[in-house]
Amino acid sequence: MSSDKVPDTPVEIIVDLLSKAKNVAAARGDVPKELTSYLQKALDIASGLDDYLEKMTTQESEPLAELYKKTVTHDWDQVHKEGKTMFRLPKECITGHVEGQTLKMLIHMSQAKRVLEIGMFTGYGALSMAEGLPEDGCLVACELEPYLREFAQPIFDKSPHGKKITVKTGSAMDTLKELAAAGEQFDMVFIDADKDNYINYYNFILDNNLLRIQGVICVDNSLFKAKVYLEDTTDRNGLALREFNHFVSNDPRVEQVIVPLRDGISIIRRVPAATESSRTQCEITDDEVFHGVKGRSILDRMRLDGKVAYVTGAGQGIGRAFAHALGEAGAKVAVVDMEQNKAEAVAKELFLKGINTISIKADISKSEDVQRMIDTIVSKWGALHIACNNAGINMNSASEDTSLEEWDQTFNVNLRGTFMCCQAAGRVMLKQGYGKIINTASMASLIVPHPQKQLSYNTSKAGVVKLTQTLGTEWIDRGVRVNCISPGIVDTPLIHSESLRPLVQRWLSDIPAGRLAQVTDLQAAVVYLASDASDYMTGHNLVIEGGQSLW
Ligand SMILES: C[S@@+](CC[C@H](N)C(=O)[O-])C[C@H]1O[C@@H](n2cnc3c(N)ncnc32)[C@H](O)[C@@H]1O
């Protein structure tokens, strides 16, 4: 701490007091050595803490460093004297490096997408939080002083994250009212403005649903230089924070913890409305719709954490997208393809995203490969919950010319192969009493796509639907659900082949959605069918074709 700096946090105050005590001790000749040495040790511990935290915390970005420098070197007294700000703003207002990174970390951990800041100052906290937001995230910063928006904006503009920030100038309470009237809701709120209004901001936010359930409110200065717990406190802000902490700690709508970082940060989580205390406050229907099935919200019910999955034909296209989707939702994924290098490449992608994965080379038209695939997965991970039978081939010929070879080859992979996978996976799943099988069929099971000629493909995919319906009804009473997904025409490398490329325009005129399907259009469906949320669904053909089969 530099000598001209006023101690501002409990630790800084302790350092100041210990330094004074040390000086008093040094001025007297009769202080025992032991006491001087204890004082020195306490001083070393306290004075080293903030520096150490600074050093061990991830460095700030260049725009943040620039914003910090610009803020602490600015002549705020002069600005105020010139009437550019209503209040004299001390540069110590700034959140700074360690707190900024803490806020950014909280944004990541809570996966917040929409953030509200009350009290922006020069935008250090706002930009730190914006850096933690996803690309489509947004942060609304409330600030009383218009001067500060002008001050911060040029640096926001230099950062790739600055565009996520919208500054609303004026009284924060007016802005909160405006946001509530517009039905806005946030995942995280950072309160860091006028201390005696904290309680009003907090209550307004909760009373008006500005914070979503499970959302987080962070509050700065909640230790307020230790004045919140020192008995002789008369300071207005210290008393306001004391009352605020007391109120929050008794509020059944939330859980809170005060982290003794700098001047204290409270982290307050809005708990689900279904807690005992709030239940007694109003009439609710006390059921799974209200609480969620096994207490899990609908999005949680689509998580696949701890589940073991495989996807065949996962080396590219739809299968690759399915493998990523299942992994992102929490499953361990075996990436299966007849081309080993492709399976390995996709498994590497999943690994980079932190997904547990293995690659397996298997030709699903060979029964020994199918059994080896299942055995490998079960011996590696001890179970099999999700079987995604996606591998398939498509060949084109006029029906009068279709060779038996083409027919057999198509059926060997698309129908016989899918059956073998279903059977081998099903045997494991029936023993477990639980399983989800998702076959890739095709819109061609419903309509006859044209003008291309693909008799064997269409017929084999119609077979996949009937296979799915039969297994789906035969096995559901033993916990195994079997469904299929029928994509329309998907924009994969396959359709950019010489023979198919000219047909794209023709197809587009048959698709109400006006575009081909992207593989990403199919990802949510596979996660849904793989999750407990679809447990009542079996033998279903989920058609995703931009409306093409309806025209
Ligand atoms: C402690 S500073 C905020 C620091 C900031 N969060 C950061 O990351 O550096 C408090 C800010 O709140 C603003 N403020 C105070 N009262 C306000 C009010 N009623 N409405 C909006 N902003 C207010 C002040 O102008 C000041 O810029």
Alpha helices, DSSP H, located in 28-167: 33-56, 62-72, 76-81, 97-110, 124-132, 146-158
Angle ∠(243,246,251) on CA atoms, nearest 5: 120
pLDDT tens across 292-328, in order?
A: 999 899 999 999 999 999 999 999 999 999 999 999 9
**Exposure pattern of 376-387 as b/e (b: 16+ CB <10 Å)?**
bbeeebebbbbb
Q: What is this model's ipTM?
A: 0.99
- The confidence score (pLDDT) of residue 341 equals 98
- Of 454, 460, 483, nearest in space to 544 by CA: 483
Distance, CA of 519 to CA of 234 (rounded, Å)? 64
457 is catalytic: yes
The pLDDT of residue 495 is 75
Section 529-546 average pLDDT:
98
What pLDDT does 493 receive?
72
Distance 195 CA to ligand 1 centre (A): 10
- Closest atom of ligand 1 to 171 CA is 20
**Pairing between β-strand 186-191 and β-strand 114-118 as defined by DSSP bridges:** parallel
Residues in Cβ contact with 6 at an 8 Å cutoff, skipping those fewer than 6 apart: 92
Ligand 1 binding pocket includes 172 (Cβ within 6 Å):
yes
| Atom of ligand 1 lying closest to residue 197 CA | 19
Residue 62 sits at φ, ψ, to 5 deg, of -60, -50
- pLDDT digits over 402-427, tens only? 999 999 999 999 999 999 999 999 99
- Ligand 1 centre distance from Cα of residue 4 (Å): 24
Give bridge partners of residue 293 from the DSSP assignment: 296
Pocket test for ligand 1, best of 104, 129, 177, 194 (most atoms within 8 A of CB): 194
* Residue 199 CB neighbour total at 10 angstroms: 18
Structure token pair of residue 23: 């000086």
Share of the chain above pLDDT 70, in %: 97
> Does any ligand 1 atom lie closer than 6 A to the CB of residue 263?
no
Is the domain spanning 62-273 CATH 3.40.50.300? The answer is no
- The CA 137 to ligand 1 mean position distance, Å, reads 22
Give one DSSP letter per residue of 455-488, joined into a string. Answer: HHHHHHHHHHHHHHHHHHHHHGGGTEEEEEEEE-
pLDDT at 494 over 80: no
Active-site position among 124, 198, 457, 528: 457
Q: Is the pLDDT of residue 273 over 90?
A: no
> What own/partner pairs with CB < 8 Å and gap ≥ 24 does 109-114 have?
110/187, 110/188, 110/215, 110/216, 111/187, 112/137, 112/186, 112/187, 112/188, 112/215, 112/216, 113/137, 113/138, 113/187, 114/138, 114/139, 114/184, 114/185, 114/186, 114/187, 114/188
Place of tokens 């899990």: 296
Q: Which residues contact 396 (CB under 8 A, 6 or more apart)?
A: 452, 453, 454, 499
The finding on whether 467 has its CB within 6 A of some atom of ligand 1 is: no
Dig out the tokens for 38 from the structure: 């204890």
Task: Could you please state the CATH topology (level 3) that the domain comprising 301-550 is classified under.
Answer: Rossmann fold (3.40.50)
For residues 456 and 403, is the Cβ–Cβ distance under 8 A? no
CA separation for the pair 215, 351 (Å, rounded): 30
**Ligand 1 centroid from CA 95, angstroms:** 11
**What would the pLDDT profile of 98-153 be if each residue is shown by its tens digit?**
999 999 999 999 999 999 999 999 999 999 999 999 999 999 999 999 999 999 99
Render the burial of 513-545: b for 16+ CB within 10 Å, e for the rest. Answer: eeebbebebbbebbbbbbbbbbeebbbbbbbbb
pLDDT attached to residue 278: 55
pLDDT of residue 283: 79
267 Cα: distance to centroid of ligand 1 (angstroms): 19
Ligand 1 nearest-atom number relative to CA 93? 1
| Residue 277 in this model has a pLDDT that exceeds 70 | no
- Does 71 have pLDDT greater than 60? yes
Q: Count H helices and E strands in the chain, helices first.
A: 21, 14
What single-letter amino acid sits at 364?
A: I
